[in-house]
Amino acid sequence: MFQGIGWRISITFVVLILVCMGGLSAYLLHFVKGNYLDNLRAQLAAQVQLVGDACKTYLEGGEIEKIDALADRLGNKSGSRITIIDASGVVLGDSKRNPRTMENHGNRPEVLEALAGGSGSSIRYSTTMECDMMYVAVPIVVDGEIAGVARVSLPLAEVNESLGHVNRMIIGGTAVATTVAILLAVQISRATTRPIKRLTQMSNRMAHGELGQKIEVTSQDEVGKLAEAFNLMSARLKEMVALLTSERDKMAAILSTIDDGILLVDGESRVAVVNWAAQKLFRLSGDKMVGLTFIEVVRDHELDSILQQCLKTRKQQTKVVETEPGRRFFKVIATPLDSGSLVLVQDISELRRLETVRRDFISNISHELRTPLASLKVLVETLQGGAIENGAVARDFLCKIDIEVDKLTQMANELGELSRIESGKVSLNMEPVDVEGVVKRVAERFKMQAERGGLSLEMDIPSILPRALADGERVEQVLVNLVHNAIKFTLPDGKVTISAAAEGDSILISVADTGVGIPADELPRIFERFYKADKARAGGGTGLGLAIAKHIVEALGGKIWAESIEGKGSTFTFTLPMAVKP
């Protein structure tokens, strides 16, 4: 409660006022008492001088017995105690006591001073009156010699009573003045500290985020200048925070749109800032990542070593890292900062995969083109070598050349069709399709081929199957490709089954065989163009059928996938949206 500046100022003023007023009161009390006693002493001195003059006549005439009566009369008139003492200290008269019963007063201080030739005074306890008294004495001179001493005294009780009244007035006045001064000091302190308190309150609001506070300037003194400075600071701070917030939002927007992971790491390798891409890469939320060490986030020592090298050498570090499990490839760029490092993590797994696909595509298309071109080269050279003269041989070679040209033409056509499907330039006739009818037509088409291969071709279609929303010709094209592959890679006495069923709001169509199957490590790539499993090389074909089937199904709004166990067979399944939702 008493920690505020207002209380400190008030208490300081109060203490100062109390000390000053206390000192002033003590001085006034001492001054008044001294002045009062001096005035009283002067009055008593005037009285005692008159008493001395009155007694002088009696001493000159030897009428000593009348002096006591004189003392009584003078004492009654003045209200003071009158005492007449001869030069030897014997009391000749006293207005309050019988002089005969009183002891010798020659040793009294005021008497000794008077006998010494001057006036004497003292304040002391009177054994006769049994109280404190003020005494003033003067010598009585008769014929040039001191014949006695006249003394006037007054009880201090009366003096103290008078002084007490004066003291009470002084103390009361001082108390009133002190109270008024204290109230004024408190009021002045409050008036002085009120703007400071408002400044404190507004500063606290600003500390809690309520920017733009403004205080009214009511004076031109130091407090008023402080208020003006506060208002200027508040306005500048609001502008600065708004600018920083804007820049932060821009930076956050930039970071959120960057597909690469960005992590800001301090000097102790603890993550301070991450973007959503980094959260996605390392499968952690931003709240969990912030505050963790870099190694706890990436969980890979090779990635962490790049950061540590950057922090150690204060140079940019760049490296491509392959992590396990999952065979993911990261390109990491660690850039040193004043108090840490900025780490950029690029997931180049897809680029690596595409690079692999590109190499395989070139290898496959080279292989696919090499065989027919080599055959054509041999056939042409043979004809040029003289076989053209033999009509039967020439016709046979020309038939073979025609077959190889047809293969190249088919490959070119399929590549063109795949390109058109991928680019979305193929128009689709979307309408309700009778899936059962499509399956039956395909089964009928491959019936003879299956029988020649010693295979069983079966259908598994429910009695009631909803129609699919698709392009019937394209669905038949996909199904033909799948059934053709199934028959081609199934050994005699094997079985190929075409099935269809409704599941949710989709139609599932499957082609299952009991053929050679597909190795597990090659299964994810079978829908790539020109990709063939090793066992498929002997079967011929362009290697584009599954790629075309995949793009057709996706263009129709469905999905396609394959399941296989090597040596036991494969199942290819694709979905089509239902024409009428259940």
pLDDT value at residue 436:
93
Contact (CB, 8 A) for 415 and 544: yes
What does the buried/exposed string (b/e) look like for 469-489 if buried means 16 or more CB atoms within 10 Å of the residue's CB? bbbbebbbbbbbbbbbbbbbb
Distance CA 83, CA 108 (A): 12
pLDDT in tens, 95-146: 888 888 888 888 888 888 888 878 888 888 877 777 788 889 999 888 878 8
For residue 536, the 8-state DSSP code is G
Residue 538: is its pLDDT beyond 70?
no
pLDDT band at 561 (very low <50, low <70, confident <90, very high): very high
Q: Mean of the per-residue pLDDT values for the chain?
A: 82
Asked which of 394, 421, 448 is the last residue of a domain, the reply is 421
**What pLDDT does 275 receive?**
85
Handedness of CA 125, 130, 132, 137 (dihedral sign): negative
User: What is residue 578's DSSP assignment?
Assistant: B
| pLDDT value at 326 more than 60 | no
Residue 136 CA: distances (Å) to CA of 115, 287, 390? 13, 100, 181
The answer to whether residues 476 and 572 belong to one domain is yes
Q: What CA–CA distance (Å, rounded) separates 275 from 295? A: 17
Q: What pLDDT sits at residue 537?
A: 41
pLDDT for 55 beyond 90: no
* DSSP tag of 119: -
User: Residue 273 sits in a domain of what CATH number?
Assistant: 3.30.450.20
Say whether both 467 and 374 belong to one domain.
no
Kindly report the CATH number assigned to the domain that includes residue 398.
1.10.287.130
Supply the pLDDT for residue 542: 61
The pLDDT tens digits of the residues spanning 56-65 come to 878 877 788 8
Most trustworthy range by pLDDT among 99-103, 244-248, 282-286, 451-455? 451-455
Joined tokens for residue 160: 């103290």
- Could you report the per-residue pLDDT of 232-255, keeping only the tens digit for each? 888 888 888 888 888 878 877 777
Residue 12 and residue 42 share a domain:
yes
Residue 475 belongs to domain with CATH number: 3.30.565.10
Whole-model pTM?
0.44
Domain that holds residue 113: 5-163
Which band of pLDDT confidence, cut at 50, 70 and 90, is reported for residue 257? confident
The two three-digit tokens of residue 158, written as one number: 């009366």
Q: Which stretch of 46-55, 130-139, 194-203, 434-443 has the lowest confidence by average pLDDT?
A: 194-203
Residues with Cβ < 8 Å from 445, sequence gap 6 or more? 480
Q: Which of 111, 134, 163 is the last residue of a domain?
A: 163
Q: What is the dihedral sign for C-alpha 238, 241, 247, 252?
A: negative
Domain check: are 325 and 363 in the same one?
no
Give the chain's domain count: 4
Average pLDDT of the residues in 45-53: 85
Calculate mean pLDDT across residues 376-401.
80
* 180 found inside a domain: no
535 pLDDT band, cuts 50/70/90, is very low
Least confident residue range of 126-140, 337-351, 362-376, 427-441? 362-376
Residue 280 pLDDT more than 50?
Answer: yes
Task: Please tell me whether residues 449 and 561 are part of one structural domain.
Answer: yes
Residue 374 clears pLDDT 60, i.e. is over it? yes
Q: What is the pLDDT of residue 444?
A: 93
Residues 280 and 324 in one domain: yes
Least confident of 110-119, 378-387, 461-470, 498-507: 378-387
In a shared domain, residues 325 and 433: no
The reply to whether 389 and 432 lie within a common domain is no
Residue 574 confidence (pLDDT) = 95
Which of 421, 444, 470 is where one domain is finished?
421
pLDDT digits (tens, 9 = 90+) for 386-397: 777 777 878 887
- Can you give the pLDDT at residue 179? 84
What pLDDT is recorded for position 497? 95
Average pLDDT in the 532-561 region?
75
Same domain for 454 and 534, yes or no, is: yes
Cα–Cα separations (whole angstroms), residue 55 to 78, 147, 152, 440, 549: 16, 10, 13, 170, 158
Per-residue pLDDT at 548 exceeds 80: yes
Residues 374 and 479 in one domain: no
